[in-house]
Amino acid sequence: MSKFSLFFAPLLTLCSFFASATQTIAIVGAMDVEVNNLLPEIEQHKAVQIGQHTFHTGTLRGHPVVVTRSGVGKVNAAITTTLLIREFKAEQFIFTGIAGAAAPELSPTDVVVSNALVQHDVDLTVFGNQPGLMDGFDDRLFHADPRLVQLAQQAAEKVVGKDHAFTGIIATGDQFIADKQRVAEIRNEFNAMAVEMEGAAVAQVAFMFNKPFVVIRTISDKADGSAHMDYPKLKQATADNSIAITLAMLAQL
């Protein structure tokens, strides 16, 4: 190794450590239940209102953060993600929340960390596009950041145990899935492990602005005929589980 690289390699590592330690991390959940228990953990907490969205700035486990509830669905999630980038200079995204199971082996309280997300309700197949492929894109999958995925998976294993923490594809659409046949179709078409209503919208915006992201979802229901029964009973506990994973992940970031 040259004298030059002996000196500069550690310096570069140090600089990238400090750069990432000062980067604002956006933490987003769709509903109050998915973010409210994070708010008391924020230090130097300030609430900023933009339109109908409230953004909570401060520090969390030593990181500058903005925590917000996007509202349900892809449009809300896309607006929120764009505001986080443009108004709050968010550099990394963690989405925390709950989801329906698409993989039959998953049960409520299991966790899925996204390695990629897809919009299951995008249909331009009449023009020859694959299901889920939006006009103007080469790939229907939006790939999560490998480092964030690894950290989220490790945090999930700590919180729920290795046997209940999975990494896989999460499928998003503006529909609450509560039908055995529909969830099987989504599973078969996209190889999805979980279904929810915001993740791929956050992923698309983050991708378009070149920001790293990951989605952490605890399963609240099986997205079949029993979904409407499990969901209200389990939503608080499963949302809190994703929050616990997010906090564990921040400690390692």
Give the residue numbers marked as catalytic.
34, 221
Helix (H) or strand (E) holding 3: helix 3-22
Q: Are 102 and 169 in contact (CB under 8 A)?
A: no
Buried b / exposed e over 147-174, threshold 16 CB at 10 Å, is ebbbbbbbbbbbbbeeebbbbbbbbbbe
- Binding segment for ligand ADE (CB under 6 A), chosen from 32-40, 143-151, 193-201, 202-210, is 193-201
Q: For 65, which DSSP code?
A: E
- Binding segment for ligand ADE (CB under 6 A), chosen from 105-113, 143-151, 189-197, 239-247, is 189-197
Q: Are 165 and 155 in contact (CB under 8 A)?
A: no
Q: Are 105 and 165 in contact (CB under 8 A)?
A: no
Nearest approach in angstroms of CB 40 to ligand ADE is: 24
Instruction: Indicate whether 177 belongs to the interface with ligand ADE (CB under 6 A).
Output: yes
- Binding segment for ligand ADE (CB under 6 A), chosen from 8-16, 73-81, 151-159, 174-182, is 174-182
Question: Which one of 81, 96, 153, 220 is in contact with ligand ADE (CB under 6 A)?
Answer: 220
Instruction: Indicate whether 100 belongs to the interface with ligand ADE (CB under 6 A).
Output: yes
Which DSSP string corresponds to 117-161?
A: EEETT---GGGTPPTTPPTT-S-SPEEPPHHHHHHHHHHHHHHH-
Question: Which one of 42, 197, 216, 249 is in contact with ligand ADE (CB under 6 A)?
Answer: 197
Q: What mask, x for binding ligand ADE by CB under 6 A, covers residues 17 to 56?
A: ----------------------------------------
Instruction: Indicate whether 68 belongs to the interface with ligand ADE (CB under 6 A).
Output: no
Q: Are 215 and 113 in contact (CB under 8 A)?
A: yes
Closest CA relative to residue 142, chosen from 184, 190, 85, 76: 190
Sign of torsion, CA 173 120 244 226? positive
Instruction: Indicate whether 223 belongs to the interface with ligand ADE (CB under 6 A).
Output: yes
Taking the CB of residue 9, how many other CB atoms lie within 10 A of it? Answer: 11
- Binding segment for ligand ADE (CB under 6 A), chosen from 42-50, 60-68, 138-146, 219-227, is 219-227
State which residue, 41 or 121, has the beta carbon closest to ligand ADE.
Answer: 121
Instruction: Indicate whether 195 belongs to the interface with ligand ADE (CB under 6 A).
Output: yes
Question: Which one of 196, 200, 213, 253 is in contact with ligand ADE (CB under 6 A)?
Answer: 196
Question: Which one of 84, 118, 159, 227 is in contact with ligand ADE (CB under 6 A)?
Answer: 227
State which residue, 41 or 179, has the beta carbon closest to ligand ADE.
Answer: 179
Q: Give contact residues for ligand ADE (rule: CB under 6 A).
A: 98-100, 176-178, 195-197, 220-221, 223, 227, 231
